[in-house]
Amino acid sequence: MTCIQLTARQLKIIEIVKSQGPITGEQIAGLLDLTRATLRPDLAILTMSGILDARPRVGYFYSGKSPQSFIAEGMRRVLVKDIKSVPVVISETASVYDSIVMMFTEDVGTLFVVGNGGVLVGVASRKDFLRSAVGKTDLHKMPVGMMMTRMPNIVTTTNEETVYEAARKIVDHEVDALPVVRVVMIDQEDQLEVIGRLTKTNITKLFVELSEGTY
Tell me which residues touch ligand ADP (CB under 6 A): 109-110, 123-128, 149, 153-155, 174-178
Nearer to ligand ADP, 176 or 209 (CB): 176
Return the bridge partners of 15, or none. none
The answer to whether the peptide bond before residue 56 is cis (omega within 30 degrees of 0) is no
Nearer to ligand ADP, 89 or 178 (CB): 178
Integer angstrom CA distances of residue 209 from 6, 50, 68, 80, 199: 18, 12, 13, 15, 16
- Least distance CB 59 / ligand ADP (angstroms): 48
CA 149 from centre of chain: 23
- Least distance CB 77 / ligand ADP (angstroms): 24
The CA distance from 180 to 130, in Å, is 25
- Least distance CB 112 / ligand ADP (angstroms): 9
Going by their DSSP bridges, the two strands 52-55 and 59-62 should be labelled as antiparallel
Q: What single-letter DSSP state applies at residue 143?
A: B
- Least distance CB 175 / ligand ADP (angstroms): 4
Nearer to ligand ADP, 9 or 127 (CB): 127
Q: CB within 8 A of 56, min separation 6: which ones? A: none
The CA distance from 186 to 3, in Å, is 48
Nearer to ligand ADP, 20 or 149 (CB): 149
Nearer to ligand ADP, 14 or 177 (CB): 177
Nearer to ligand ADP, 139 or 155 (CB): 155
The CA distance from 35 to 193, in Å, is 58
Closest chain position to ligand ADP (CB): 127
Picking from 124, 123, 119, 76, the residue whose alpha carbon sits closest to that of residue 100 is 124
- Least distance CB 108 / ligand ADP (angstroms): 11
- Least distance CB 73 / ligand ADP (angstroms): 26
